[in-house]
Amino acid sequence: MRRSRRWKWVGAAIVVAVVGAGSYFGWRYWGGSESPATPVTGAMQTVRVERGDVLQSLVVYGNVVPKREYTFTFDGDQVSEILVSVGQRVEPDQILVEFDKTRAELTLLQAERALKEAQAEGVPAMIREKELAYDIAVASYEETTLCAPFAGVVTEINQATGSLQNWSVVLIDTSELYVEVSVDQLDAPALAVGQQAQAVIEPLPDRTWPVELVEIGGMAISHGNSTVVAVTGKLLRTDPAILVGYTVEMEITTAGAVDVLRVPISSLVESPRGWIVMKMVEGEATPQLVTVGVTSDQYAEITSGLEEGDEILLYPSGMQGERPQRPEDAEGMRPSFQQGGGVPPGLPGMP
% of the chain surpassing 70 pLDDT: 77
Is 191 among the domain residues? Answer: yes
Q: Where are the beta strands (DSSP E) in 89-203?
A: 89-90, 95-99, 145-147, 152-158, 167-184, 196-201
Query: From CA 65, how far away is CA 250, in angstroms rounded?
Result: 14
Q: Are 3 and 191 in contact (CB under 8 A)?
A: no
Is 347 among the domain residues? Answer: no
List the CATH number of the domain containing 199: 2.40.30.170
Domain-ending residue, one of 256, 271, 297: 256
List the CATH number of the domain containing 315: 2.40.420.20
Could you tell me which of 143, 161, 156, 155 has the C-alpha nearest to residue 80? 143
User: How many domains is the chain partitioned into structurally?
Assistant: 3
Tell me the pLDDT tens digit for each residue of 171-228. Answer: 999 989 999 999 999 999 999 999 999 999 999 999 999 999 999 999 999 988 889 9
List the CATH number of the domain containing 83: 2.40.50.100
Q: Is the pLDDT of residue 146 over 60?
A: yes
Is 351 among the domain residues? Answer: no
Q: Is the pLDDT of residue 164 over 70?
A: no
Q: Is the pLDDT of residue 245 over 90?
A: yes
Q: Determine the pLDDT at residue 181.
A: 95
Residue 285 pairs in a beta bridge with 38, 280
Higher-confidence residue: 147 or 2?
147
Q: Determine the pLDDT at residue 303.
A: 95
Residue 35: pLDDT band by 50, 70, 90 thresholds? very low
Note whether 168 and 99 are same-domain residues: yes
Domain-ending residue, one of 234, 256, 278: 256
Domain-ending residue, one of 256, 291, 320: 256
Q: Domain span at residue 93?
A: 68-172
Is 2 among the domain residues? Answer: no
Q: Is the pLDDT of residue 339 over 80?
A: no
149, amino acid identity: P
Is 212 among the domain residues? Answer: yes
In the DSSP assignment, the letter for residue 322 is P
Is 224 among the domain residues? Answer: yes
Q: Is the pLDDT of residue 298 over 70?
A: yes
Q: Is the pLDDT of residue 97 over 80?
A: yes
Note whether 76 and 122 are same-domain residues: yes
Q: Determine the pLDDT at residue 224.
A: 84
End-to-end, the C-alpha distance of the chain in Å comes to 22
Is 339 among the domain residues? Answer: no
